[in-house]
Amino acid sequence: MNANLIFYPILLQAFIVIVLYILLGVRKKKAAGAGQVNEERRGLYDDAWPEEVIKVNNCIRNQFEVPVLFYVLVLMLWATGGISITAIVVAWLFAVSRVIHAWIHTGSNYVPLRRKVFTFGCLMVMVLLVLNLLTLFGH
């Protein structure tokens, strides 16, 4: 098996972040053009922007929380020779969960569903942690 296949879910996660930054720019431009921005507060305060901008901004912040652990754990597995079909599937499940999470977060922002998807992603990160432990301590 090609261990480098583990990097495709990382690329998807990175792609999500880029798309979110583009979406943020689009929504900010639209809000500014519609006069929906408090110009006195926009430089320092999120509440200067309308909800549609805040949702994307919050989603971007979220991409630098649990996904950072995902990156580290995948790189550790790769560096220690611990890549398996299980690790690749789990990494894909995490990355797809992040796509769904971002879709919900920037759309309906329905928190009960968003929380379930977030929790699933966290569970996938926990599985990656266990796979790392098994690799490091010789399963």
Residue 124: predicted pLDDT: 98
Distance separating alpha carbons of residues 115 and 11, to the nearest angstrom? 23
Q: Quick check: pTM over 0.75?
A: yes
What is the sign, positive or negative, of the torsion defined by CA atoms of 81, 86, 88, 93?
negative
Residues in the chain: 139
Residuewise pLDDT in 10s, the chain (139 residues): 899 999 999 999 999 999 999 999 999 999 999 999 888 888 787 788 999 999 999 999 999 999 999 999 999 999 999 999 999 999 999 999 999 999 999 999 999 999 999 999 999 999 999 999 999 998 6
Distance separating alpha carbons of residues 30 and 25, to the nearest angstrom? 9
Tokens describing residue 41: 């507060």
Tell me which H or E stretch contains 129: helix 111-136
User: Domain ranges in the chain?
Assistant: 3-136
Backbone angles phi, psi at 84, to 5 degrees: -135, 170
Residue 31 contacts residue 9 (beta carbons within 8 Å): no
Residue 98: predicted pLDDT: 98
Residue 47: predicted pLDDT: 82
Residue 139: predicted pLDDT: 66
CATH architecture of 3-136: Up-down Bundle (1.20)
Residue 104: predicted pLDDT: 98
